[in-house]
Structure 1
Amino acid sequence: MLTTLAIANYRSLRELIVPLGALNVVTGPNGSGKSNLYRALRLLALTARGGVIPSLAREGGLQSTLWAGPERFSRAVAAGEYAVQGTVRKDPVSLRLGFAGETFGYAIDLGLPLPSSSQFSLDPAIKRECIWSGPVLRPSALLVDRQGPMIRIRDTSGDWTTLAQPVASFDSMMTEYADPRSAPEMIAVREQIRSWRFYDHFRTDEHASARQVQIGTHSPVLADDGGNLAAALQTIREIGDGDALDAAIGDAFAGARVEIVNHEGRFEVALRQEGLLRPLRGAELSDGTLRYLLLAAALLSPRPPGLLVLDEPETSLHPDLLPSLARLIARASGHSQVIVVSHAARLVAALERESASQSIVLERRLGATGFAEPEALDVPPWRWPPRVGQS
């Protein structure tokens, strides 16, 4: 389980060290930075799939995603005595992302590329990447260290070996080096990150893939777009916890039961409800009902992930469904670490009543996202790996 999420200089997240538990509820008013935290976490997950640089480029490049305020606030500015003013930059341009748990920690530092004739001006450069043992970075705990193009690996005797093959500035070491003998820690961290799942804004319009008839194959994991919903629900019924699925549907819609219609190997979701002579097919379901089925398929996965992140799962749901959703999320937190980003007061309140939950309330002051109730959180220690001889 992750114990710490660290973000620096990403949009409104000037410097945010977030403590994490089994069930984390991120909330706050509009504009407080909830979406930025979600996007930063998703960006961090892309490091293990080679997608961090393309994702930043799609956002307009590093300059468009960096913290837009001053490097530091003076005490007078922080106290509101003076207006915010620009200053001469002292530190190198840097966007940093990291996490830590009891076993391993990881951090990546992205900056501006060196001047060149390249046309890829939106590509930031990876300046440093580190993997260490334990929750806090210490020189003695460092296991894998990438500085610029070079990667060093510490062996079991404590000696360092520098890899002969340099890494391009746009490639993460997580995707470019994979030797289970010399760097098992890198494999472990990479697979840990790749197991994370993110679900946000499922399509529920009339053309949504979740409403369509789809080829049915075993699907222990719901696709990002929910396109394999019918197969995922049938998989839960056959090799997962079918009773939990029935209970979740009945909890939300009294007397209802989900059914999967098999059209010679092509599956379609349907919902049988009290008082109706036939089940309602996917095309007939309301947006809220379909979204609840999608969330149930994600949260009852027979192959639960290490980390499950939901962004505004309350979208399209009637308020009366939120307690049922909260119970589903709480159940999932018994198998996966869960982060829920939400501004729905009823859902937040229901989740906060769970014994394993932790509420992370964000606010924005002087443009920077911080904790509205810092005294309520036990913020863990964190150290960023410094740049060595690099701009």
Structure 2
Amino acid sequence: MQIRSMFAANYRSLKSIRMDMGSVNLFIGENGVGKSNLYRALQLVQAAVRGRLAYEIAREGGMASALWSGTRRSGDPVRVKLEVELLDEERAATFFYRIECGLRPPLMAGFVFEPQIKEEELSVDAGRRPAVMMKRKGPLIQVRNETGRMNDYPEQALTSDTAIGLLGDAGHYPEVGTLRRVIDGWRFFHGFRTDRDSPLRSPCLAVTAPMLDEDGSNLAAVFATLRHTRGDTVDLDRAIGDAFGGARLVIPEPMEFAEFSLVFPDFPKRQFSPRELSDGQMRFLALAGALLSYRRPRFIALNEPETSLHPDMLPALAAMIATASTDSQIWIVTHSEALASEIEARCGTRRKRVIRTDGATWIEGMRLTGMMDDEE
């Protein structure tokens, strides 16, 4: 199930932006134009399906910090609005999910800057016309039952609850459950710790790891799963060899813990442990775990993956992104023109340049509909 389009309004620098999405989505721009806010909006959609939207916005400083601070039309509701459209090719169906949250009314209960969920809706279009499966306004939730009728859900939602989180936990609503499982599986890799105490540098418990955790703490288990469960590290070996001048990854069969090391051509009898590797080398290995794991996420977001990497590693990184794009939808935010060019050459995509227009984040050459000027 791929994201076909996204919409965000009144969130930080995103005044109102709708954008079509492809298999590989490549964004480049200067600091401060709002590149990270674009994919942070998708992170908030994921937080909503997990029932943690209010918490995630509170972590940013609350609604006072999250809301668009530019000019608004008088009388418009002061709300963050997020929408995603996902295409399920197997079921020939399109899922539409929308959520709006805002501030507490002056005379209502609740914390002053706590996000309050105002509206939510999930609809599914299976070829005739969209059918609303769930609708929420304030604390009241309506959901379509197995007979096709919209009924009131017996439990009222708290202002910080999301309806999709409550209904997903109930387990009786297959469309809600399907969308929730898909979005919950998205992965956002927006920086790996590479200091000496980083989890990347330590052995991890020997538990089968089909995909990398967002903090990279199960990296050694991801490598061990590829080598000893799948029995296929061809892409991984090629990427490491290309990035590190012919280096070889050593992955012993795990006992209580999983671990790995590198052997370089100049020192063929010496195994270098993760604690001996540079920050750039560890970051590349983490990206390899994210992009080449046994079971890749349906959506992978990478924020400035070129950070700390030697320029010679960028072609190998772009090649890994191209490999991952055969199974996953990829979102890359980068400052590097060189990396963008490598990705364009391997993936056949076009970079989107993020700019500021009247204080709002926008994509150069994009129409209001979300389509680029050079697209048919």
TM-score calculated relative to the size of structure 1:
0.87
Q: Report the counterpart of residue 121 of structure 1 in structure 2.
A: 112
Check conservation: 1:132, 1:141, Cα contact below 8 A. yes
In structure 2, C-alpha distance between the alignment counterparts of 1:174 and 1:229, rounded to whole Å: 31
Q: Report the counterpart of residue 282 of structure 1 in structure 2.
A: 274
Number of paired residues?
361
Instruction: Establish whether residue 93 from structure 1 lines up as the match of residue 94 from structure 2.
Output: no
Instruction: Establish whether residue 105 from structure 1 lines up as the match of residue 96 from structure 2.
Output: yes
Quick one: structure 1 residues 377 and 315, their matched pair in 2 at CA, closer, same or farther if it must change by over 3 Å? farther
Of 275-284 and 140-149, more deviation after overlay is shown by: 140-149
Check conservation: 1:23, 1:337, Cα contact below 8 A. yes
| Residue aligned with 1:106, SS | strand
Quick one: structure 1 residues 154 and 377, their matched pair in 2 at CA, closer, same or farther if it must change by over 3 Å? closer
In structure 2, C-alpha distance between the alignment counterparts of 1:378 and 1:40, rounded to whole Å: 16
Instruction: Establish whether residue 216 from structure 1 lines up as the match of residue 206 from structure 2.
Output: yes
Q: Report the counterpart of residue 315 of structure 1 in structure 2.
A: 307
Instruction: Establish whether residue 143 from structure 1 lines up as the match of residue 158 from structure 2.
Output: no
Report the residue type matching 1:271 in the other structure.
Answer: L
Instruction: Establish whether residue 243 from structure 1 lines up as the match of residue 228 from structure 2.
Output: no
In structure 2, C-alpha distance between the alignment counterparts of 1:358 and 1:162, rounded to whole Å: 46
Instruction: Compute the displacement of 1:157 (Å).
Output: 5.5
Check conservation: 2:104, 2:110, Cα contact below 8 A. no
Q: Report the counterpart of residue 34 of structure 2 in structure 1.
A: 33
Give unmatched runs, 5+ long, in structure 2.
Answer: 88-93
Check conservation: 1:291, 1:316, Cα contact below 8 A. yes
Q: Report the counterpart of residue 172 of structure 1 in structure 2.
A: 162
Check conservation: 2:143, 2:150, Cα contact below 8 A. yes
2:363 aligns with one of 356, 371, 374: 371
Check conservation: 1:229, 1:269, Cα contact below 8 A. no
Quick one: structure 1 residues 70 and 34, their matched pair in 2 at CA, closer, same or farther if it must change by over 3 Å? same
Give unmatched runs, 5+ long, in structure 1.
Answer: 73-88, 381-391
In structure 2, C-alpha distance between the alignment counterparts of 1:239 and 1:14, rounded to whole Å: 47
Instruction: Compute the displacement of 1:284 (Å).
Output: 0.5
1:198 aligns with one of 183, 188, 200: 188
Of 210-219 and 190-199, more deviation after overlay is shown by: 210-219
Instruction: Establish whether residue 63 from structure 1 lines up as the match of residue 64 from structure 2.
Output: yes
Check conservation: 1:311, 1:342, Cα contact below 8 A. yes
Report the residue type matching 1:95 in the other structure.
Answer: V
Q: Deviations over 1:310-352 (max 9, x none)?
A: 1111111011111110010011010011111111111111112
Instruction: Establish whether residue 360 from structure 1 lines up as the match of residue 352 from structure 2.
Output: yes
Report the residue type matching 1:198 in the other structure.
Answer: F
Of 149-158 and 280-289, more deviation after overlay is shown by: 149-158
CA RMSD of aligned residues (A): 2.2
Check conservation: 1:204, 1:287, Cα contact below 8 A. yes
Q: Report the counterpart of residue 78 of structure 1 in structure 2.
A: none
TM-score calculated relative to the size of structure 2:
0.90
2:287 aligns with one of 273, 295, 318: 295
Q: Report the counterpart of residue 79 of structure 1 in structure 2.
A: none
Q: Deviations over 1:114-168 (max 9, x none)?
A: 33575622311101111112499x7x53221111111112346653211122111
Quick one: structure 1 residues 352 and 29, their matched pair in 2 at CA, closer, same or farther if it must change by over 3 Å? same
Between 1 and 2, higher relative CO (CA 8 Å, sep ≥ 6) is seen in 1
Report the residue type matching 1:223 in the other structure.
Answer: D
Quick one: structure 1 residues 378 and 70, their matched pair in 2 at CA, closer, same or farther if it must change by over 3 Å? closer
Quick one: structure 1 residues 350 and 19, their matched pair in 2 at CA, closer, same or farther if it must change by over 3 Å? same
In structure 1, C-alpha distance between the alignment counterparts of 2:112 and 2:370, rounded to whole Å: 40
1:328 aligns with one of 312, 320, 341: 320
Percent identity, please. Answer: 39
The aligned runs of 1:47-58 (5 Å cut-off) are 47-58=48-59
In structure 2, C-alpha distance between the alignment counterparts of 1:169 and 1:377, rounded to whole Å: 32
